[in-house]
Amino acid sequence: MAEDIETSLSEVDGDNGRLTVCGRSLDDLAGRATYEDMLTLLWGTDAGHLGPGRLWAWQHLQAHWPVLLHTAPMDAMRAALSLLPVPTSHLAEASRLSATLGVVVAGLALGRCPDAPHPQVSHAADILRMMRGAPATPAEVAGLDGYLVTVAEHGMNASTYTARVIASTQAGVRPAVVGALCALQGPLHGGAPGPVLDMLDSIGTAASARSWLSAELQAGRRLMGFGHRIYRVRDPRADALKGLLHALRGERGAERLALAESVERDALDLLRESKPDRRLETNVEFFTALLLEALGVPRTLFTPVFACGRVLGWCAHVREQEDHGHLIRPRSTYRPAVHA
Ligand code: ACO
């Protein structure tokens, strides 16, 4: 059983489907605030270090690309953070770690060391530009920026809790962020969006959705992108991302979105029938998958891009935990095994 943790960073109201970050509602932030605004909100400081941080990371990563490019993406993110010489002040370290994740994800997408960062442009614009080797459109930049804002902070989820446990031992920011990356990658947390697209690909057309989903449930498998430990109603981030997706969609995107919306309706119907006692609704990962696909992010990099957003929350929690100065050490209940 985890200890109850007090935080002033966010409130996840699972009964009413509301997310509040540092006193601001998600409805107020998504599509309006930038990633840099979120950094200021969560870290209580200006975001001026992020652009120079990307340049610093890019310079220090030069020698490491041959290894990073031949490493699984989440391992490459952790390796990059572990290899770089980071400063000892919390703010400088948090800025450089966050900036580094953006540069690594861009290089992994491109398959080589990206062109040098432009420190003066936004984090979202620079990640997309480095990823493609060419600037993205304003609508695409707004799409990625809105995504990073939407996922930046979300209470005591598994990766944030991991970061806090590590921070509570006074291990420092980098170990906490590296540990959080480990927790994020599982399919029950941040690893679900890739499988959401695999599911849409396997279903193929709206007409086959019901029978495909039904067979999955009968086989005892979970439908990716549905259900949440805290939300008992629709995850508010799903609608925030859906709004961003509608603003982005092109011809192909419209077809994909129509299929996804039809799959979503069938999945919710079937989940209601198969788990009548449990409210299972659409979660953030369902529309994350579609949004990142529309932005041309390779499926294997969905979780690393998620990390680029969530790192703001992790670093804020690390500082809060360090200020609190209390070791997290839940009790366990010993139940001797009964052998037949
Ligand atoms: N599809 C089918 N059944 C489900 C689903 C699902 N997506 N989610 C929960 N259930 C069922 C479980 O099988 C279980 O049924 P049972 O009681 O008959 O055994 C019941 O609902 C409760 O499941 P729990 O695992 O106890 O519920 P929990 O609140 O711990 O689950 C979780 C939350 C892990 C997110 C779950 O809903 C899930 O596995 N979803 C699919 C994966 C996913 O979308 N992950 C991303 C989550 S969002 C994020 O972390 C960023």
Cα–ligand 1 centroid distance for 4 (angstroms): 22
213-241 residues labelled b (16+ CB within 10 A) or e (exposed)? bbebbeeeeebbbbbbeebeeebbbbbbb
The 3-state DSSP class for residue 326 equals coil
Q: Is 326 in the pocket of ligand 1 (CB under 6 A)?
A: no
Share the mean pLDDT of the chain.
Answer: 94
pLDDT at 224 over 60: yes
Task: Give the Cα separation of 160 and 180 in Å (integer).
Answer: 6
Q: Whose CA is nearest to atom 25 of ligand 1?
A: 229
Residue located nearest, by CA, to atom 37 of ligand 1: 227
Tell me if 285 CB under 6 Å of ligand 1: yes
Best residue among 19, 156, 162, 188 to mutate for probing ligand 1, ranked by most atoms within 8 Å of CB: 188
Pairing of strands 10-13, 24-25: unpaired
Does the Cβ of 224 fall within 6 Å of ligand 1? yes
Residue 100 CA neighbour count, 13 Å, CB half: 29
**CA 285 / ligand 1 centre spacing (Å):** 13
Per-residue pLDDT tens for 247-262? 887 655 778 889 999 9
pLDDT at position 268: 97
> What is the whole-number distance in angstroms between the Cα of residue 225 and the centre of ligand 1?
9
Mean pLDDT calculated for residue range 291-314:
96
CA 223 to ligand 1 center in whole angstroms: 8
> Per-residue DSSP letters for 106-160?
HHHHHTSPPPPP-TTS-HHHHHHHHHHTSPPPHHHHHHHHHHHHHTS--TT-HHH
Residue 193 banded pLDDT, cuts 50, 70, 90 = confident
Q: Please tell me if the CB atom of residue 280 comes closer than 6 angstroms to any atom of ligand 1.
A: yes
pLDDT tens, 132-151? 999 999 999 999 999 999 99
Supply 200's token pair. 């849409």
CA of 228 to the centre of ligand 1 (A): 6
Quick check: pTM over 0.85?
Answer: yes
Lowest mean pLDDT among 84-93, 179-188, 299-308, 324-333: 84-93
Could you tell me if the CB of 188 is within 6 A of ligand 1?
Answer: yes
Cβ neighbours for 63, distance < 8 A, ≥ 6 positions apart: none
Instruction: Write down the pLDDT at residue 247.
Output: 85
Tokens coding 101: 């994740």
CA atoms of 60 and 82, how far apart (whole Å): 12
Q: Is the CB of 307 under 6 A from ligand 1?
A: no
The per-residue pLDDT for 2 is 57
Residue 88: the pLDDT is 76
Q: What does the pLDDT read at residue 250? A: 65
**Bridge partner list, 18:** 13
Q: Judge contact between 247 and 140, C-beta under 8 A.
A: no
Can you tell me the distance from the alpha carbon of 201 to that of 208, in angstroms, rounded to the nearest whole number?
11
- Name 12's bridge partners: 19
Whether the per-residue pLDDT at 38 is higher than 80: the answer is yes
Counting from 1 in the atom list of ligand 1, the atom nearest the Cα of 157 is 50
Please name the residue whose Cα sits nearest to atom 2 of ligand 1: 222
Cα angle: 223, vertex 228, 230; to 5 degrees? 170
- CA 198 – ligand 1 centroid, Å: 18
- Cβ of 190 below 6 Å from ligand 1: yes
The yes-or-no verdict on residue 7 having pLDDT over 90 is: yes
Three-state SS at 264: helix
Query: Does the beta carbon of 313 sit less than 6 angstroms from any atom of ligand 1?
Result: no
Distance CA 250, CA 257 (A): 10
Q: In this predicted model, what pLDDT tens digit does every residue of 52-107 receive, in sequence order?
A: 999 999 999 999 999 999 999 999 999 999 999 877 788 899 999 999 999 999 99
Q: What is the DSSP letter of 170?
A: T
